[in-house]
Amino acid sequence: MAGNILEYSDTSSHFNNIRTKPDQAHNNNNADTYYTKEEVAKHNTKSDLWMIINNDVYDFTLFFNLHPGGSIMLEGAGKDATYLFEDIGHSYEAVSLMSKYKIGKLSMKI
Ligand code: HEM
């Protein structure tokens, strides 16, 4: 956790960190992990914070306390937050930050 905070505040090496450090929460590539909307919906608190953005599923629990925009992020908790995320006009840095929190993709099964 402390490493995460340092990593975030050290903007000069930020992009290198994204490429070289494994995801601390889910140490795998996540390419073949699918979650339903119902599963994502169970993770809707600041201590268990998942979101769907552009059909990818993210676990932002470790990012919640680092979010520059603060707890408004909870509006997207457990939901498809694509519109919320994009409506703010987040920077390229914000978009880049997301990849390390990705845990899988949205299952399209009904
Ligand atoms: C979907 C729910 C989210 C909402 C409603 C939200 C909202 C906001 C708001 C209102 C700000 C502006 C704060 C200010 O200027 O004072 C902000 C900034 C920021 N947010 Fe989010 N955010 C969300 C998700 C995320 C996610 C998932 C990430 C990255 C993992 C992220 C990364 C950032 C960053 C880096 C900034 C600083 C400005 C920038 O670089 O664009 N946010 N957010």
Please give the C-alpha separations between residue 56 and each of 7, 10, 13, 72, 80, in angstroms, as whole numbers.
23, 26, 26, 20, 9
The residue whose CB lies within 8 Å of the most ligand 1 atoms, and thus the one to mutate among 88, 100, 101, is 88
Q: What angle do CA 105, 58, 75 make, to 5 degrees?
A: 120
Strands 102-106 and 34-35: parallel
Q: What is the pLDDT of residue 29?
A: 55
How many folded domains does the chain comprise?
A: 1
Closest by CA to 105, choosing from 39, 35, 3, is: 35
Q: Which domain holds residue 50?
A: 2-106
CATH classification of the domain holding 32: 3.10.120.10
Is 72's C-beta closer than 6 angstroms to any atom of ligand 1? yes
Is the pTM higher than 0.95? The answer reads no
- Tens digit of pLDDT at every position of the chain (110 positions): 443 443 443 343 333 333 333 444 454 556 689 999 999 999 999 999 999 999 999 999 999 999 999 999 999 999 999 999 999 999 999 999 999 999 999 998 76
